[in-house]
Structure 1
Amino acid sequence: MTTIIERLEAVRRHYNLSGRGLADRLGQRPSTVTNYLNGTQAPKLEFIENILRLFPEVSAEWLIRGQGSMLIVDQPDVAELKKQYETELLVKEGIIKELRSIILEKNQDKQSLDRQQLVG
């Protein structure tokens, strides 16, 4: 398990910020942020809250307790995804059946005129 100091450092690295850059973004003194990042001083709750406000995609559970993933991932609507994939699957199955039919007709020399023009 990582420490809160390591997790704060991971946030800083993830957003490609220097200690000073993070301090500027948070409106903190660089020396204060440096003390938090190197473990000289324990980060105050206000600092943690500011991190979570500045980076809303960072999981509070991860930052404070070290549990879960660093970033909150939006969970897609399962029903919507299912509907989307079922529709795509039906379309693809229809295309496959049509292509199969064209191939069989071509192989049997029983191809209709409109399909001959389509396939060549």
Structure 2
Amino acid sequence: MIERIKRVISHTGLSERAFAESIGVKQNTLNQQLKGERGLSLETITRILITYEIISAEWLLRGEGEMLKGKTPASTEKKVEKEFVVCVDENGYLKIKK
């Protein structure tokens, strides 16, 4: 999870100090957590998710999916286009012509 938090920091374009300030965590605390000198707190994780709502909690917590909400990998996107003609039969019912 630490590597994912580092990716979030990188994505914001902020320094670690500015990022810590943006989420309301002391810089020293965040630095110790990112170095593994201190356990990553639920408060830090929660503050990241509240401050940066675009970050996917599923991705941050479990490493699944995409970092940003609403983004899907291009490889799983499928665009399907189908054309058909709708007509009315002799009884007044709609029918689809292939």
Could you tell me the TM-score, scaled by structure 2's length?
0.69
1:26 Cα deviation from its structure 2 partner: 1.3
Partner Cα distance (1:59, 1:68) in 2: 8
8 Å CA contact 2:49–2:55 kept in 1: the answer is yes
Structure 1 partner of 2:92: none
Given candidates 11, 15, 26, the residue that maps to 2:12 is 15
User: How much has 1:74 moved relative to structure 2?
Assistant: 6.6
1:64 to 43, 61, 64: 61
For the residues of structure 2 that align with 1:64 and 1:38, how far apart are their CA atoms?
18
Measure, in 1, the Cα distance between the counterparts of 2:58 and 2:2: 15
In structure 1, what is the equivalent of residue 70 of structure 2? 73
Aligned alpha-carbon RMSD (Å)? 1.8
Distance apart, 1:17 and its partner CA: 1.2
What TM-score do you get using the length of structure 1 for normalisation?
0.57
Q: Secondary structure at the match of 1:33?
A: helix
Unaligned regions of 5+ residues in structure 1, if any?
76-81, 87-120
Ranges in structure 2 where 5+ consecutive residues have no aligned partner: 73-79, 84-98
Residue number in structure 2 paired with 1:50: 47
Larger strand percent: 2
Distance 1:37 1:18 in 2: 13
Query: How many aligned residue pairs are there?
Result: 74
More helix by share: 1
Amino acid at match of 1:56: E
Deviation at 1:64, TM superposition (A): 0.5
Higher alpha-carbon Rg:
1
**Runs (4+) off by over 2 Å:** none
